[in-house]
Structure 1
Amino acid sequence: MMNLRPRILVVEDDTHIARLLQTALGVEGYEVILFGTLAAVNAALPDPSASLILLDLGLPDGDGLDWLRRQRNGTSAGVIVLSARGAEDDKVTALDLGADDYIGKPFGVNELLARVRANLRRQGGVQNLATATTLATGDLVIDVEHEAVYRAGEKIHLTAKELKTLMILARAPGKLVKQRELLQTVWGPEYLDDTHYLRILMSKLRAKLEENPSEPRLLLTEPGLGYRLQLP
């Protein structure tokens, strides 16, 4: 069974803070994965099911700002920076490099949880939709839990790669999934630049799922970036 709770990656080397975040976020119903170094979180990425990354700036093996500079385009998850650095320049730099929010340490747990909820809402309703095991529009039903698709009660045949791609998108409805994430997860790391494979697959998926494949309303393209599953 798939875990459809919003997944939050916490990159924090202070074990006290990491455990505090794990407990507070876990009580709210989020799946929380802890990483103590940049190398550890890099090994886990790309992770298409990750909704949010909480990133400390001062880590044992590098600076979070450098990570943002190098890796921000490699994940579609939101990023909230947690840092004891109070300088305005650090905050401006983090936001300019792609962070979605910046919270200074020490922070209040209630404020942090509110910022997390706000970020997930901005992602297109991920927080609310991620608990659903089925997605439906018209007579089309995507059964995420059992990895199956039906139209008017009849099962639609998808190839293994078509089904895997659709399930990645369906686990994060409304959220942009980067091309490179899909290519690495579905085809493998040696196919990161073969975007034509993805275009062909998406065309076939639309032919099977969209009422009008030439004017898709379900499987949307963000040119040069990636794809999203948008419920009309």
Structure 2
Amino acid sequence: MATRVLVVDDEAGIREVLRGYLEASAYEVLEAGDGATALDLARQAAPAVILLDLGLPDRDGLELIRDVTEATDAYLLVVSARAEEVDRLVGLRLGADDYITKPFSPREVVARVDAVLRRDRRHAAEDTEDRVELDGLVVDRGRREIRVDDRSVDLSALDFDLLTVMCQAPRRVFSRRQLLERVWGSDYFGDERIVDVHIRTIRAALGDDPAQPRFVATVRGVGYKCVAASR
């Protein structure tokens, strides 16, 4: 059975283009032109991935992110003309797994869909009992749970994977490209700065101060590293 992708955009032309590229890559494609239809399809059709435009006629797109992530376990990729960093940050914090700005390359969109689904397959094959305990931070890969000082932390699937990569190798410095290859996939060809946006989202969720980092530190000119000490 083909993997199902729900494309949500009020512009029929964009839906048609994405449908063509996705079907050429053997995906089954569903379409919605408004928020109400999108939410119904997300609940009833169980898509594996949702491509969501924020500029819908009947619903605020950011509000719809929250509703969709509560209604389904699908990966959610925002595809939007809203290019401001604040929109990316809010979208990611509300539960989006990735953020693609318009105008976009349809091939890039398909590559990002491929990448999130590869992450799912990779984790399914890993040891589900793996658990990393650092200074006040617990990353339980089997349960897909994060805790800070016994407080549960909600992260999107992509943010969870990104934090896990760093926590499994404390003190190791990762370049943006290395993190992209491990989390987004080796064929990712978008803006490397998307890593910075996700790091900000992770820090906000953990309550981490970038000026005095407890968990994730910036290594200027290189990338990022986990600075929390192992227990």
Q: TM-score, normalised by structure 2?
A: 0.52
The residue aligned with 1:12 is: 9
Cα distance in 1 for partners of 2:49, 2:75 equals 5
In the TM superposition, structure 1's runs of 4+ consecutive aligned residues that sit over 3 Å from their partners are 220-223
1:123 is paired with a residue whose SS is: helix
Kindly indicate whether the alpha-carbon contact (under 8 Å) linking 2:8 and 2:31 is maintained by their aligned counterparts in 1.
yes
Deviation at 1:51, TM superposition (A): 0.6
Displacement of 1:104 after TM fit? 0.3
Query: 1:106 aligned to 2:107?
Result: no
Task: From the superposition, tell whether residues 121 and 83 of structure 1 become closer, same or farther in structure 2 (CA, over 3 Å).
Answer: same
Please state how far the C-alpha of 1:41 moved relative to its aligned partner: 1.5
Equivalence for 1:25? 22
Check conservation: 1:13, 1:37, Cα contact below 8 A: yes
* CA distance, structure 2, for counterparts of residue 222 and residue 87 of structure 1: 30
Q: Matches of 2:88 and 2:45 in 1, distance apart?
A: 27
Matches within 5 A, 1:142-157: none
Q: How does 1:195-214 map to 2 (within 5 A)?
A: none
- Match of 2:38? 41
Conserved? CA contact 1:48–1:76, under 8 Å: no
SS at match of 1:59: coil
Quick one: distance in 1 between partners of 2:109 and 2:117? 12
Name 1:84's counterpart in structure 2: 81
Instruction: Please tell me whether the aligned partners of residues 26 and 32 of structure 1 are also in contact (alpha carbons under 8 angstroms).
Output: yes
Cα drift, residue 221 of structure 1: 7.4
1:51-200 equivalence runs, <5 A = 51-124=48-121, 174=124
| Amino acid in the other structure paired with 2:24 | V
**1:222 Cα shift?**
7.1
Q: CA deviation at 1:85?
A: 0.8
Cα offsets for 1:9-64 (capped at 9, x unmatched):
00111111110000000000000001001111222232464110000000010121
Q: Which runs of 5+ in 1 are unaligned?
A: 127-173, 176-219, 224-232
Instruction: Kindly indicate whether the alpha-carbon contact (under 8 Å) linking 1:47 and 1:75 is maintained by their aligned counterparts in 2.
Output: no
The AA in structure 2 aligned to 1:102 is Y
Q: How many residues align?
A: 131
Q: Secondary structure at the match of 2:31?
A: strand
**Matched-pair contact (CA < 8 Å) for 1:13–1:36:** yes
- List per-residue Cα deviations over 1:62-84 (Å, max 9, x = no partner): 12100112331221000000000
Instruction: Provide the residue aligned with 1:194 in structure 2.
Output: none
Q: Aligned partner of 2:3: which letter? A: P
For normalisation by structure 1, the TM-score amounts to 0.52
- Asked if the contact 1:80–1:100 (Cα under 8 Å) also holds between the matched residues in 2, the reply is yes
Distance 1:8 1:67 in 2: 17
Q: In structure 1, what is the Cα distance between the partners aligned to 2:60 and 2:24?
A: 30
Sequence identity percentage = 41
Unaligned runs of 5+ in 2: 126-141, 146-231
Structure 2: which amino acid aligns with 1:29? A
